[in-house]
Structure 1
Amino acid sequence: MKSKLVQLLRENQGFFLSGEKISIELNCSRTAVWKHVNALRKEGYVIEAVSNKGYQLMQNEDLLSKHAILSRVKDNPLFHHIAFYDSVTSTNTIAHKLINEDVKEGVVVVADEQTAGKGRLGRKWASPKRSAIAMSIILKPKLDFRQAPQLTLVAAVAVTRAVKIVTGLELEIKWPNDLLIKGKKVCGILTEMQADSDRIQSIIIGIGLNVNQQHFSEELVDLATSLQKEGDRVFDRAELIAAILKEFTWLYETYITKGFSFIKPLWEAHEITIGKEVVARSASNTKTGIAIGIDEEGVLLLQDDDQDVHRIYSADISFEN
């Protein structure tokens, strides 16, 4: 009910809606309307109430809540449940716990603050309160475990397209999981898998997106940026989350039916890795060469000085020059 009330007030933002009109739209009593308004106020929504006029949603400074997200994804056929938290150590960790409780595909874990998010190679990814998107998507595709890394590339395309739609900003994709603006990292994606034998049981796609951060630590100031810094305005995180989920839904469903060959050209349209001299560091070795492309499995192809081509399944990529 609260999600529907948020949606109704947002659709009429700038205008008063009478308690009677709201009660008719939501099929509830005016007393119930009053109770839900007060509940939303406690969550941080600024709702003005004037006698003989009704209720009006005032502009909120990027307030993120379960209801703000649900009101925007009500028609999404895949992502039907939002598990929202004010603060967590890691949304991926929460997602693993939910999978162990046998949740269905389509659950999205979202937190307003993430204090120890997971990054690749054991790195941490912090998402400060009221400034970033920290979310994890739970999927249960019937795929071979070797296809799991492809979903990182699907997610990268989804985020890139969603950010362009909402903000107008162009993101660049650095294989396999970094999204950049003008060479600075704005988003990271971490895909984790639970598999049985050679089949995927579940996939968790963690997405950390810098949205409204204005300040970065001294060690990150030259390496990271945010949508607000690049777009010079505050962006609505709930709107961005809904857009990411919408883009991911159709990309994922098409990927399941048509395969990675559908995703590959969309990914290539935004990538900045191919054609560059790179260093690929993994847990077992380091290789240097020219990134000459990705194959039909999404694996990076790296050609060394001896013209030998190496297939890089997972690595931390940095540019030589």
Structure 2
Amino acid sequence: MKIIKLNAIDSTNTYLKDLSRNVTVQDGTIVTAEAQTQGRGQMGSKWQSKTGRSLTFSVFKRFHGLPITQQPMIAFAVALALQKALQKLQIPMVSIKWPNDIMSYQKKICGILIENQLEGSKVIASVVGIGLNVNETEFIQLPQATSMRLASGIQFNLDEVLVLVSEEVFRQLQALDEGNSEVLKQTYEASLFRRNKVTAFESKDGVQFNGIIKGVADTGELLLEIEDESLQKYEVKQLKMLF
């Protein structure tokens, strides 16, 4: 791994994408920033981070002939990598809130943003942005947020966490590049937050309804059993989980 450490930056994902367009970026390159002013999450949301207490970084992974249809598996692999890394670091009750938020108990501890680079029918590389709450002890007006320290009572070394998490991300993505996507999908489904539990959702039109998470489609959509017992597929922009 090659680690590039920066002070203040708009977005580590944007920096790494721009860098890869202009120079040949080494597979396994990591860009981390002490402060990220324009950090992004899913669907245009902003990721808030605290200097010296959290990690905001992006990793660059090259693929060799990964079919474009396998894009959802990249998100599955990264989410599972974060879950496994946090479990190694003694974080309790780690699960994945679809599509790729990482939870400890009922609260969000990590956000992920994946941007893939395509060439024809292949994925040639991914830039994986990760925002991880490490040593924060309070979150103002963010009742559903937590940190590794709050969840475990342990104070962590940021550099050590960065290396362990990054190694696990590359390990999982390398395994994906070598095949075995069906096992990956099954493992991801087994790790889903509130799987097989009645959960409240809100549609993009503001309609609230109950559903039971049964898994995910090969194309990445959430599979919900709704009140008439039918199985429906939903994309990220189509609904929000209420919990």
The residue matched to 2:99 in structure 1 has which SS? coil
- Alignment partners' CA distance in 2, 1:280 and 1:149: 23
- Name the counterpart of 2:20: 99
Cα distance change on mapping 1:88 and 1:259 into 2, 3 Å? same
Which sections of structure 1, spanning at least 5 residues, go unmatched?
1-79
- Name the counterpart of 1:57: none
Aligned residue among 194, 199, 209 for 2:117: 194
**2:12 is the counterpart of 1:86:** no
- Alignment partners' CA distance in 2, 1:316 and 1:230: 31
**2:217 is the counterpart of 1:312:** no
Map 1:283-302 to 2 at 5 A.
Answer: 288=209, 289-302=211-224
Map 1:19-34 to 2 at 5 A.
Answer: none
- Alignment partners' CA distance in 1, 2:240 and 2:6: 34
Does the 8 Å CA contact 2:91/2:104 hold for their aligned counterparts?
Answer: no
The residue matched to 1:126 in structure 2 has which SS? coil
Aligned residue among 25, 34, 38 for 1:116: 38
Identity, in percent, stands at 28
Higher Rg: 1
Which piece of structure 1 moves more, 84-93 or 190-199?
190-199
- Alignment partners' CA distance in 2, 1:287 and 1:143: 38
Q: Deviations over 1:103-136 (max 9, x none)?
A: 2322111112222211111110022110111111
The residue matched to 1:113 in structure 2 has which SS? strand
Does the 8 Å CA contact 1:125/1:208 hold for their aligned counterparts?
Answer: yes
The residue matched to 2:138 in structure 1 has which SS? coil
- Name the counterpart of 2:47: 125
**Residue identity opposite 2:169 in structure 1:** F
Q: How many residues align?
A: 239
Cα distance change on mapping 1:136 and 1:285 into 2, 3 Å? farther
The residue matched to 1:143 in structure 2 has which SS? strand
- Name the counterpart of 2:185: 264
Which sections of structure 2, spanning at least 5 residues, go unmatched?
none
| Alignment TM-score, normalising by the size of structure 1 | 0.67
Does the 8 Å CA contact 1:109/1:136 hold for their aligned counterparts?
Answer: yes
| Alignment TM-score, normalising by the size of structure 2 | 0.86
**2:102 is the counterpart of 1:185:** no
- Name the counterpart of 1:275: 196
Segments of 4+ in structure 1 off by > 4 A?
284-288
Aligned residue among 54, 57, 72 for 1:149: 72
Between structures 1 and 2, the one with greater strand share: 2
- Alignment partners' CA distance in 1, 2:95 and 2:7: 30
- Name the counterpart of 1:203: 126
Cα distance change on mapping 1:281 and 1:210 into 2, 3 Å? farther
Deviation of residue 148 (structure 1)? 1.8
Higher-RCO chain (CA-CA 8 Å, sequence separation at least 6): 2
Q: Deviations over 1:25-53 (max 9, x none)?
A: xxxxxxxxxxxxxxxxxxxxxxxxxxxxx
**2:88 is the counterpart of 1:162:** no
- Alignment partners' CA distance in 1, 2:92 and 2:238: 25
The residue matched to 1:215 in structure 2 has which SS? coil
